[in-house]
Amino acid sequence: MRILLLARVHLGTVAALSVLTISACLLIAGLPRGMQASFDQALRRSLSTAAAQQADLTVAVAPDSRGEDLHERDQFAARDREWRDLLPPGLRPLITPAGTGSSHTSAKTTVTPITGTSGTQFFNLGWLSDADRRVTWVQGRPPGKPGTTRYDGETIPVFEVGVVAEALREMDLRVGDTKTLGENDYIAVKIVGAFEAKDPGDRYWDHNLDILRVTKIQPPGSLDFEKHITSLMSDDGLSVLSGEGRHLAYHWVLPVDATTANALDVPRLTAAIADFDRLIGIQSTGTASPYRLVTGLPKLLGDFRAALATAETVMYLVLGGLLAVALGVLVLGVQLLADRMEHTLTLARARGGSLRQVAGTGAALTGLAEAPAALAGYALSYLVPGPVLPIVHAGPVLVIVVTVGYAATRLAVTYRTPLHERRDDVATARPSAKRITLEALVIVLALAGAYLLRARGLTDSAGQDPFLLLVPIALTLAAALITLRCYPFPLRLLVRLTARGRAAVPFLGLTRAARARSASVLPVLILLPALGVSVFAAVISDGIAGTQTRASWQQVGAPIKMTSNIEIPAEAIERVRGAAGVEQVVPAQTARVQVGYGAERAEAIAVDVAQWRRLMGEAPFGLPDLPSGALVSPELQGRGTFEIGWQSRLKLPTRGVIASVPGFFTKGKFLVVPIDVLTRPAVNTLLIKGDASVDALKRLVPSATVVSQHGTLRAIQDDPLTSAVRWTMLVVTVALAAYALVAVVLALVVGAADRARAVSFLRTLGLSERQAQRLTVLEILPVILVTTLVGLGLGLGLPAALGPGVDLSSYAGDLPVGDYSLDLFLPSALAAGLAAAAVLGAYTHTAVSRRRRLGTVLRVGDLT
């Protein structure tokens, strides 16, 4: 047969099939690329925002003898090259080259007390390989060569050092001071200069905060703080510095380049880090001081994999549903094309055409419509940024194979015998016992799978659980089988009721709907997975959005929260009250208090709870009223009246138990007390209502940290992984809704010929045009409405059916997502849209059929 001629004759159907193929291939190949690009962006953000000492690889050793000391810069450089040579191939692209970024080496002592301070001040020695590029000397001069001095009858080394300018104030030091360090093995340091960091915000200083800041530590049971600072010395100081007699550690920092990371390499990176750690350990063989790898990168990657596994599971669910629906719609298009060629192929078969020729003709025409369109959709998918995954290549090929294979198989079955007459419109075929048993088995397995999934949860939170992917598919298939088998029964009941009436149209329309063949109903059942998956995606997206809002309130505890490590002065509080946009200010004090007279401690907040509740307004959580006494955590309940030490001894009766205090405490031992129980509240927290600028409030109280609920919510929503999940769900929801409408239209068109024939018969018996329209609507609408309701129910029930199998807390501020409230707007909109499409299609069909003459539809002998 002439394929091009057939394509020209059926140009409209071929064009429609091509458009559907382009859209399907674009979605199937483009969405995974966009998803993977978002996953890569999420991993890079996770690595770049984590503390450098957690994300970077650091090789450390603590020499405790002179034989293991390193005294020259070249020795450090040689070890750095050695560590880089040991990097596994899979890890090397992730590590920045030597001398770039924050790559550096260091030597530092720890816990080196200043002699005579009784262990309250510690002055450590430090050396950085690139200190000259990192600091600016603001007082004195850079350190030089070390010297010697006499102390306690011995000659001890004197190191020239510099300290950060902040340490001069915090530790009462001056340039030119000489301090003796140690309690037995003494050394001395001479402060010759003070410096400031050129870029204090550089990730480089995450590894060296002990140099840039004075560290304050409060020992247990003490009211005083220990102060620690690490100074900087020159290269010449290395020749004298030794690990013998003091705590000395060498570090080689191998920074991670977050821009080169991609989510697909996460499992390989985790294995490579473990391999690198093993190789470093081998280098320590035979040495008294072993080298070790210090990094939090495996934990970062593990946490990311856990969040990614959930994202991938949800994505696979919705994309799998999208693929199934897209293929179903394409199959409907192929069926429409086959129906349009029925006359041609029947004639060819009657004139001696072989079954291979007939089936090959249909397959060739389908391939002609599909192949260029699939190639175009595949090419358009490259406009979506992201890595090329196997599904990008396999998706369009799968579309072509399924559609062409379906065309060939359907035509081979239909025309296996020439001019085989079929009369399936009179009575429906009774399914075999084997088929009923198989369908019942599928339903039972789907229900059992849903129960087991809820009972056992996931097998591996860091990987894909096939059970989680199979259960939704089984539930969808079970719902489709139940709908296919059960929908005729209520229709037959309606047929009996309408048979008692005098009007013929309701009886005829519902009878045709109840007697519809399975083959004619199956195209409409594409609506079920389309609606089920789209509603599931919408419900999950809404659940995430609502939980994100609750999480932002839970993290902040007020529209705006200002906290400080020191007391906020009264005049500063008044400035905040008078700031633009501030409506209400509630002062509070937080502290760690003593419970009883022992060593037990608890976190506490003193606040006017009534004012706090008014300030919160319509926040998604509440606090119990507290006129007196204390609200305690579950760990402190059951104690009745207890005593705490906070400014003075306070006896407080328990007035209630609270699981968490939004913005402050979520676990452990904590309590909430009225602020007026304190003798003189030292306010260090302000809870603010209004739309004031966070930056403006920071300028009013420079020592405070200011966060807002809106800013926290934006940070949660802007996470790349979270954005990828919600963006993909939105696209899939819109695409599936469009496919559902297309399925309705195709279902109308596929049965148009038989429907027009039946209406023409009835018109010869006096059926009016208005009655023909009503008849068509009654024939089509019941099946669509039943399928729509089942699909909506499936989509609304899937989140509850999956239960703990889908943990979405990673995308909602670490708050569990479980409140899938029933929002009837989307279901109602989808149901109304599909019903409207069906009714509009019915009226359009009758309007088109009205222009046909009965002679073009009925042949001689049809009325006999």
Name residue, tokens 């966060």.
707
pLDDT of residue 516: 65
CA quadruple 665, 671, 674, 676: dihedral sign: negative
Over residues 842-851, mean pLDDT: 63
Q: Which of 307-316, 409-418, 436-445, 626-635 has the lowest mean pLDDT?
A: 307-316
Name residue, tokens 């770039």.
100
Query: Is pLDDT at 637 greater than 70 in this prediction?
Result: yes
Over residues 30-34, mean pLDDT: 87
Query: Is pLDDT at 195 greater than 90 in this prediction?
Result: yes
Residue 601 to residue 586: CA distance in whole angstroms: 26
Over residues 832-841, mean pLDDT: 72
Residue 244 to residue 235: CA distance in whole angstroms: 19
Which residue in 236, 219, 247, 148 sits closest to 189, CA to CA? 148
Over residues 553-565, mean pLDDT: 89
Query: Is pLDDT at 423 greater than 60 in this prediction?
Result: no
Which residue in 313, 268, 248 sits closest to 61, CA to CA? 248
pLDDT of residue 586: 92
Q: Which of 227-236, 336-345, 668-677 has the lowest mean pLDDT?
A: 336-345
Q: Which two tokens stand for residue 716?
A: 């949660």
For residue 256, the 8-state DSSP code is B
491-518 per-position pLDDT tens digit: 788 888 887 777 777 887 777 777 765 5
How distant, in Å, are the alpha carbons of 58, 94, 96, 721 from that of 259?
Answer: 19, 8, 10, 16
Q: Which of 5-14, 291-300, 404-413 has the lowest mean pLDDT?
A: 5-14
660-672 per-position pLDDT tens digit: 888 898 888 899 9
Query: Is pLDDT at 23 greater than 70 in this prediction?
Result: yes
Query: Is pLDDT at 326 greater than 60 in this prediction?
Result: yes
CA angle 182, 184, 190 (to 5 degrees): 35
Q: Which two tokens stand for residue 611?
A: 């004012």
Residue 684 to residue 180: CA distance in whole angstroms: 38
Q: Which of 401-410, 527-536, 539-548, 759-768 has the lowest mean pLDDT?
A: 759-768
Q: Which of 219-223, 562-566, 631-635, 828-832 has the lowest mean pLDDT?
A: 219-223
Residue 378 to residue 22: CA distance in whole angstroms: 8
R_g (Cα) of the chain, nearest Å: 38
- Inter-residue contact 246 to 278 (CB < 8 Å): no
- Inter-residue contact 363 to 403 (CB < 8 Å): no
Query: Is pLDDT at 429 greater than 70 in this prediction?
Result: no
Burial of 834 (0-12, 13-18, 19+ CB in 10 A): buried
Judging by DSSP bridges, how do beta strands 154-164 and 187-197 pair with one another?
Answer: parallel
Question: Letter for the amino acid at 147?
Answer: G
Q: Which two tokens stand for residue 672?
A: 């909430």
Residue 365 to residue 637: CA distance in whole angstroms: 76
pLDDT of residue 861: 45
Query: Is pLDDT at 54 greater than 70 in this prediction?
Result: yes
For residue 542, the 8-state DSSP code is H
Residue 207 to residue 102: CA distance in whole angstroms: 9
Over residues 278-304, mean pLDDT: 86
- Inter-residue contact 151 to 132 (CB < 8 Å): no
246-286 per-position pLDDT tens digit: 889 999 999 999 999 988 889 899 999 999 999 998 887 66
Residue 233 to residue 141: CA distance in whole angstroms: 11
- Inter-residue contact 594 to 644 (CB < 8 Å): yes
Across the chain, mean pLDDT equals 83
Residue 863 to residue 558: CA distance in whole angstroms: 79
CA angle 472, 475, 480 (to 5 degrees): 125
Q: Report residue 731's pLDDT band, with 50, 70 and 90 as the boundaries.
A: confident
Residue 536 φ/ψ, nearest 5 degrees: -60, -45
Name residue, tokens 């090329």.
388
**309 Cβ contact list (under 8 Å, min separation 6):** 460, 461, 462, 463, 464
371-384 per-position pLDDT tens digit: 999 999 999 999 98
Burial of 219 (0-12, 13-18, 19+ CB in 10 A): exposed
Residue 64 φ/ψ, nearest 5 degrees: -125, 15
- The DSSP element (H or E) to which 390 belongs, if any, is helix 390-414
pLDDT of residue 860: 44
Query: Is pLDDT at 362 greater than 80 in this prediction?
Result: yes
- Inter-residue contact 5 to 359 (CB < 8 Å): no
pLDDT of residue 255: 94
Name residue, tokens 């989808």.
830
Helix, strand, or coil (residue 474): helix
Which residue in 676, 699, 575, 684 sits closest to 626, CA to CA? 676
pLDDT of residue 190: 94
Query: Is pLDDT at 368 greater than 50 in this prediction?
Result: yes
Q: Which two tokens stand for residue 781?
A: 């609408």
- The DSSP element (H or E) to which 42 belongs, if any, is helix 11-49
Over residues 109-116, mean pLDDT: 90
- Inter-residue contact 633 to 657 (CB < 8 Å): yes
778-833 per-position pLDDT tens digit: 777 787 778 888 888 888 887 777 765 666 776 676 677 766 665 667 667 776 77
Higher pLDDT: 773 or 49? It is 49
CA angle 238, 242, 243 (to 5 degrees): 135
**Separation of CA 273 from chain center:** 25
What is the per-residue DSSP string for 483-508? Answer: HHHHTHHHHHHHHHHHHTSS-HHHHH
Q: Which of 729-733, 810-814, 854-858 has the lowest mean pLDDT?
A: 854-858
Residue 587 to residue 704: CA distance in whole angstroms: 13
pTM: 0.76
Query: Is pLDDT at 437 greater than 90 in this prediction?
Result: no
Residue 861 to residue 864: CA distance in whole angstroms: 5
Would you state the torsion angle of the CA atoms of residues 554, 557, 561, 563, taken in this order, to the nearest 10 degrees?
-80
Percent residues over pLDDT 90 in the chain: 26
Q: Which two tokens stand for residue 503?
A: 């009007």
Percent residues over pLDDT 70 in the chain: 87
Residue 445 φ/ψ, nearest 5 degrees: -65, -35
Helices (H) and strands (E) in the chain, counts: 28, 23
164-188 per-position pLDDT tens digit: 998 998 898 999 999 999 888 889 9
pLDDT of residue 428: 53
Residue 219 to residue 190: CA distance in whole angstroms: 28
Would you state the torsion angle of the CA atoms of residues 435, 436, 442, 444, taken in this order, to the nearest 10 degrees?
-160
Over residues 158-163, mean pLDDT: 94
452-477 per-position pLDDT tens digit: 776 765 555 444 556 666 777 788 88
pLDDT of residue 864: 43
**644 Cβ contact list (under 8 Å, min separation 6):** 593, 594, 595, 596, 602, 604, 650, 652, 671
Name residue, tokens 């934006």.
714
